[in-house]
Structure 1
Amino acid sequence: MLKNAFIILFLCFDINCQSNKDLYNGQYNTRPDGSEARLPKPGDNNYRTYLYNNRRYGADPSRYNPYNPNINQPGGFPYNPLNTNPLDDQFKYNTNIDPNNPDAIFPGVLGGWREDLQGRERRDSRQLKRDIFVNTNYGQVQGFKVYLYDNPDPNSGYRPWPPRQHPGWQLLQAVDWGPACPQPVRYTGATKGIRDMDEDCLYLNIFSPNTEAGATAQKYPVMVYIHGGQFSSGASNLFPAHMLAGFYNVVVVSLNYRLGALGFLSTSDENSPGNYGMLDQIMALRWVRDNIEPFNGDPNSITLFGPGAGAASAGLLALHPQTSHIVSRVIAQSGSALADWALIEDKFRVQNTSLVFGRLLGCPIDSSWKLVNCLRQGRSFYELGNAEFQPQVGFIPWGPVLENNFTYPGDEWYEGWRARDWTFLQTKPEDLITARTFNPALRYMTGVTTQEAAYVLYNNESLAPGYEISEQWFDQKVRELVLRYNYTLNPREVYDAVRYMYTYHPDPHNLTAIRDQYVHLLSDFLYRAPTDKMVKLLLEQNVPVYMYVMNTTVEAYRWPAWRQYAHGIEGVFLTGAPFMDQEFFPRRLRVDRQAWTPNDRNMSHFFMKAYSDFARFGNPTRSRILGVHFELAQAGQLRYLNLNTTFNSSIQLNYRQTELAFWTVYMPNVIGRMVPTYPPITESDRLYEGDIFMVPELTEGGIDNDTAARSRDNIYEYRDVPLKRPHTPQTLTRTLSQPVTLQSSRPPSEASTGSALSLKESTVSRAPAPVPRTRSRTQIVHGVPQTTV
């Protein structure tokens, strides 16, 4: 029986949220003059203690910033005569919206402690209760960070594995943020907001305005936040929901799910079907439905929302037969379940990705079992999370996979799991919409920005500092795009069509226009066109849909004009950042409180109010918000709210329909698209089935299901067979100028002459005739093995 658990982190119940750090760290216990603050002791008045990971957390109410008590007081706080900051007085909102919850406090105050000043208490919140206990189906929770599911322990040989329910506990003291799931280190650190990373990462955070049992007869709507990050990065703690929950009386849940190879590695067979990150989300969603009532959440009113990959996940879960009945609302921010990157429908593409990844980490790839066994037992989570490469086909290497003709472990193969625990999705989302597998009460809201893909340029440091691009650079990127998506029937015609559509014809040589058009090209292809397709399919099924286009920015950040309306910008407003303690955000996003403008504060309240009203009523503007309102989209009249500022927004029709139809109608139906082909992992002399590369059955090449045993009796025995020889990671310099050449470990005389492995069929297929194979050299270029001839 496995002991490891998929863990849930309950953070911030009752807005008296605990997010504590080590009390003994001198950084948090010194006055500005350098003298040491007195630590509380048992028996002191107002002494509170929590034990977590052998650390004690307490509070010293007399030591909260006595030199400037209001320096970080959230905007909109109940009037304090000591506060003379005019910016804080401009926005006064009644925090006690719920008459049955008179003790509701302003969010941004973590149970009286700020994240960076643990052990010191705000004067405004000294009277608030500290000891919070909530009963769940799994046991009692103190503080709000709780174990939820079993997270398969890699040390037990169960990586990657589906999650399972936690057996329960008596009392769990949950007083700390959980670690993020393994991901590339460039996304972690204090400046990025991810301080801890561990494979034991399956936590969720709960933000509730009130947890008093029976305090209110009306349950709060539940909003579940799924973070973005292209299924390879991100964490739930990057979305502090204190303001959203406290201002507008909703229960907010944010969750972690496994990322990258640990979450989505797939060999399309029983060794690793994949989609573990999505199975994590399904398990979390079920847990919320079954346990949210003690936090005064309504299990019958659950809204999913999130940006990018989070939006795509929300759409997939709303259509998934196992979770569609749970989801009554979806808010998709700059993402769609119908995007090419949201669901990989070609299993041979994911097989190839797994092969390239295994080769990158020095694992054998001649069979799926050896590959998975090496990654499971021979590599650390740091190695798995930090290995990055650019796929030859598609936008991102990892993501949900359509399980078309997959095989799964049998019911009796592993104790604690059955075959159904491994399955995610076997039907295309378009077909699920047509079949109306979604909740009959589903309502959908979605939005995009006018500069979605500007981050692609900003992340290219070679373009700094001006980020200007030439015509030649633009042409090269268009060619790469055409080849990456394998429009191999007529690539020249596809290139010409894309080039024509996204040329600024009034002045084709204008560098600013070229940059803007490139941003539009990627924004349309990756985000807007899939969003438009999703909206139209839902409207055909009479699903109410609201749309918006972000044409306003966070003025406090003072971003340059070409990337002011960036991907995911709504998250800044949704967290109530203009009113929140800046310590809740990554250092790169922190700004002085004086920098927030009236428009920033207005937009923040607009988004929190619109999102919470949509979760509560299914209408984002049941009443106008600062003069702004939404209208339902209709087939043929795609109304959307064009958000400039709260005083300069308007309802408009049919956003960029010509450009979006170019991707959803013209490209698939007129130009045509071949079945993608893949670079061979090793050399082969012959081509079969016309356009499909055949991979020879060398020791280091190809992929085959080598798990010969299928019965309960010997599957464990077969799985435990050690590798014949150790494989050590190899450092690969993935540059065109310095390719790394790898020699096959198998002498040419031993090369197989009787069979070749086809990625197209995922089975061993016999060659027409024995043909000696003498070439076995392989080069790794940009992380993808290329054959040398």
Structure 2
Amino acid sequence: MNLLRTGLALLLALASTSAASLGVVQTEGGLVQGQNIPVGLMRSVEVFKGVPFAAKPGLFQKPRPHPGWSGILKATKFAPRCLQVNIVQTQTFGSEDCLHLNIWVPHGKKVSSNLPVMIWFYGGGFMVGGSMGPNFLNNYLYSGQELSKRGDVIVVSAGYRVGVLGFLSTGDPSLPGNYGLWDQQAAIAWVHRNIRSFGGDPSNITIFGESAGGASVSFQILSPHTKGLVRRAISQSGVALCPWAFRSNPRDVAEQVAEKVGCPTDHTMADCLRSMDTGNLTMAAPKILQGNPDKPGVMNLQLTPVVDGDFLPDHPSKLFHNAAEVDFLLGVNNMDGHLFTSQDIPSLRSKTQDTPIEDLRRLLGAYTRGKGPAALDLAFSEYTSDWGSSPSQDTIKKTAVNIGTDFIFLVPIQTAVYLHAATATSGRTFSYLLSEPSLMAGPGKPYHDWVGSDHADDLQFVFGKPFTTPKAYADKHRALSAHMMAYWTNFARTGDPNVGPSAVPVTWPQMDHFSQQYLNISSNMNEPSTSQKMRLRFVKLWTRDIPSLP
């Protein structure tokens, strides 16, 4: 045993001495030095944590260039998250000085050069979130190490302002909003200018994100300000067209916040808000209420991107021409709505309590409110058309999850798939559905055994958690994680998830208007894993039939 330990120690020592290292790197702000982590024989990943990409932002102002530093910045600790409320909205944590990024660079015997670059934006409903250090206990979900090592890509994660400080808007030039999107754009521009020093190719940048991060990716490629900086994009479970991701009348939320902090709501409101304490402003965000199907929780996300005439000159649906040359890979988890719908209808989670059919009608009523009773009746009849005379509780509960998944995620994401494919010139479109059963589902577990991929279930596989924490996963989960990392990094390298150094199990067809093909991603992939016209009947219901009602 001691001999084995000595041998392993010797191998690691050999690996760390033989693997290349960038050492001290020159950036526009000054010199930075990261930490070299051995990941195998002659292989390492060099990590730079907490590198500033902009100065501490002014309140309700666009990000400004960082003034720089003297000496060598030891980039070995994560910076704090951006100032935000905690998950139960009782207190704040984080910092205003939060515009930092983290960089993972893989090396072999030689220092890497000209590598594809992937920039990650976290989710959190534009209210919370961060990619700086552990997300839960000691588990760092967004570590780029595994993805960087396996895909031979540089992974970057960046901070951006959230909540009131990131997305409050008066709906006019006095306080236009979208500060969090400007932060993201500043991070992309910094990477574009500096990544060559880290061995990256500035002409091959992919941005990727999940939920509000996926919507952020979508907003970035739709904005004229990001044009030319980004070559490819990946949106997981979120696009700019999602009903929770965009607000057309932000003024009322600004007035609510103003009243909470003691500001007037007249023409002096913006000036008064700018003079307020940032902690008090952060706490003044509208509360996210749950447990009522008449007022679904996602409809309470009120601090989001808006049309500001600058970053977003028009409604997102009218800006797809700006993404015409961007390769776009996007998709949804097959039960993305489970997390949210089971908050709105708590009986859905219960294995002993029945879910009343009336609760489904109430949820649909909230989603169709703008079109009245005729829309509710149409939607209800469509979702219950194959129920028969006495539907089981599993059928009723699954239908509720489908309603939430379609409205919150799947339909707007499929709409973005069609719009990108229709508008693209050189940009390619790839669509997916993740349908791996939830790790929380089954006997003795909290979820019903029929629950598929819930919201955020994709994250663990994209970031290689089944490899970094192997005891929590089975071999099939490692297979799925390897598939997703291969598709994602091949796409970042070539614009085609099938083409690159990483082997994939099934050819992923490009989406076009004729075949409307997509990839069904799971741990058990074979040729039938490609399908067509994802839930087209329900896409038409929400995008054509309901809107056409008087």
- Equivalent pairs counted in the alignment come to 507
1:231 to 117, 120, 126: 126
Q: Provide the TM-score with structure 2 as the length reference.
A: 0.84
Q: Is structure 2 residue 157 aligned with structure 1 residue 262?
A: no
- 1:185 maps to 86
**Equivalent-residue separation in structure 2 for 1:468 and 1:296 (angstroms):** 57
2:186 to 267, 283, 290: 283
1:495 to 364, 376, 399: 376
What amino acid maps onto 1:614 in structure 2?
A: F
Q: CA deviation at 1:555?
A: 4.4
Q: CA deviation at 1:645?
A: 2.4
Partner deviation per Cα, 1:415-457 (whole Å, 9 max, x = no partner): xxxxxxxx31112233222xx32353x2111121110110114
Q: Is structure 2 residue 469 aligned with structure 1 residue 576?
A: no
The answer (yes or no) to whether the contact 1:556–1:597 under 8 Å persists in 2 is no
Q: Is structure 2 residue 401 aligned with structure 1 residue 519?
A: yes
**Equivalent-residue separation in structure 2 for 1:622 and 1:125 (angstroms):** 30
Cα 1:575/1:195, change in 2 over 3 Å: farther
Larger Rg: 1 or 2?
Answer: 1
SS of 2:250's equivalent in the other structure is helix
1:215 to 91, 111, 124: 111
- 1:660 maps to 539
- 1:549 maps to 433
SS of 1:325's equivalent in the other structure is coil
2:282 to 374, 384, 393: 384
Q: CA deviation at 1:151?
A: 2.2
2:59 to 154, 159, 165: 159
What amino acid maps onto 1:526 in structure 2?
A: I
Cα 1:215/1:195, change in 2 over 3 Å: farther
- 1:203 maps to 100
Q: CA deviation at 1:460?
A: 5.4
Cα 1:367/1:614, change in 2 over 3 Å: same
**Equivalent-residue separation in structure 2 for 1:289 and 1:131 (angstroms):** 18
Q: Which moved more, 1:311-320 or 1:640-649?
A: 640-649
Q: CA deviation at 1:146?
A: 2.0
Q: Is structure 2 residue 124 aligned with structure 1 residue 240?
A: no
Q: Which moved more, 1:165-174 or 1:642-651?
A: 642-651
The answer (yes or no) to whether the contact 1:524–1:659 under 8 Å persists in 2 is yes
Matches within 5 A, 1:394-409: 394-403=299-308
Q: CA deviation at 1:375?
A: 3.8
What amino acid maps onto 2:85 in structure 1?
A: P
**Equivalent-residue separation in structure 2 for 1:188 and 1:291 (angstroms):** 37
Matches within 5 A, 1:139-158: 139-143=30-34, 144=48, 145-152=50-57, 158=58
SS of 2:481's equivalent in the other structure is helix
Q: CA deviation at 1:252?
A: 0.7
**Equivalent-residue separation in structure 2 for 1:284 and 1:211 (angstroms):** 27
Gaps of 5+ in 2: 35-47, 133-140, 290-294
Q: Is structure 2 residue 244 aligned with structure 1 residue 363?
A: no
Matches within 5 A, 1:418-457: 423-433=310-320, 436-438=321-323, 440=325, 442-457=326-341
- 2:137 maps to none
**Equivalent-residue separation in structure 1 for 2:63 and 2:509 (angstroms):** 41
SS of 1:564's equivalent in the other structure is coil
Cα 1:507/1:637, change in 2 over 3 Å: farther
Partner deviation per Cα, 1:274-323 (whole Å, 9 max, x = no partner): 11011111111111100111111110001111111111211221121111
The answer (yes or no) to whether the contact 1:146–1:203 under 8 Å persists in 2 is yes
Matches within 5 A, 1:58-137: 127=17, 132-137=23-28
Q: Provide the TM-score with structure 1 as the length reference.
A: 0.59
**Equivalent-residue separation in structure 1 for 2:280 and 2:438 (angstroms):** 35
What amino acid maps onto 2:323 in structure 1?
A: F
Q: CA deviation at 1:386?
A: 6.7
The answer (yes or no) to whether the contact 1:292–1:298 under 8 Å persists in 2 is yes
Q: Is structure 2 residue 257 aligned with structure 1 residue 352?
A: no
**Equivalent-residue separation in structure 2 for 1:264 and 1:502 (angstroms):** 35
**Equivalent-residue separation in structure 2 for 1:657 and 1:150 (angstroms):** 46
Cα 1:600/1:305, change in 2 over 3 Å: same
The answer (yes or no) to whether the contact 2:206–2:230 under 8 Å persists in 1 is yes
Cα 1:124/1:563, change in 2 over 3 Å: farther
1:619 to 496, 499, 521: 496
What amino acid maps onto 2:373 in structure 1?
A: R
The answer (yes or no) to whether the contact 1:325–1:438 under 8 Å persists in 2 is no
The answer (yes or no) to whether the contact 2:22–2:198 under 8 Å persists in 1 is no
Cα 1:362/1:595, change in 2 over 3 Å: closer
SS of 1:206's equivalent in the other structure is strand
Q: Is structure 2 residue 204 aligned with structure 1 residue 326?
A: no
- 1:634 maps to 512
Matches within 5 A, 1:681-700: none
**Equivalent-residue separation in structure 2 for 1:554 and 1:210 (angstroms):** 34
What amino acid maps onto 1:282 in structure 2?
A: Q
- 1:308 maps to 211
SS of 2:107's equivalent in the other structure is coil
The answer (yes or no) to whether the contact 1:226–1:313 under 8 Å persists in 2 is yes
**Equivalent-residue separation in structure 1 for 2:170 and 2:410 (angstroms):** 31
The answer (yes or no) to whether the contact 2:165–2:281 under 8 Å persists in 1 is no
Structure having the higher helix fraction is: 2
**Equivalent-residue separation in structure 2 for 1:280 and 1:198 (angstroms):** 15
The answer (yes or no) to whether the contact 1:180–1:201 under 8 Å persists in 2 is yes
SS of 1:150's equivalent in the other structure is coil
Cα 1:355/1:478, change in 2 over 3 Å: same
Q: CA deviation at 1:211?
A: 10
- 1:754 maps to none
Aligned-pair identity (%)? 27
The answer (yes or no) to whether the contact 2:487–2:504 under 8 Å persists in 1 is no
Q: CA deviation at 1:652?
A: 1.2
What amino acid maps onto 2:411 in structure 1?
A: A
Cα 1:188/1:600, change in 2 over 3 Å: farther
**Equivalent-residue separation in structure 1 for 2:520 and 2:162 (angstroms):** 34
SS of 1:300's equivalent in the other structure is strand
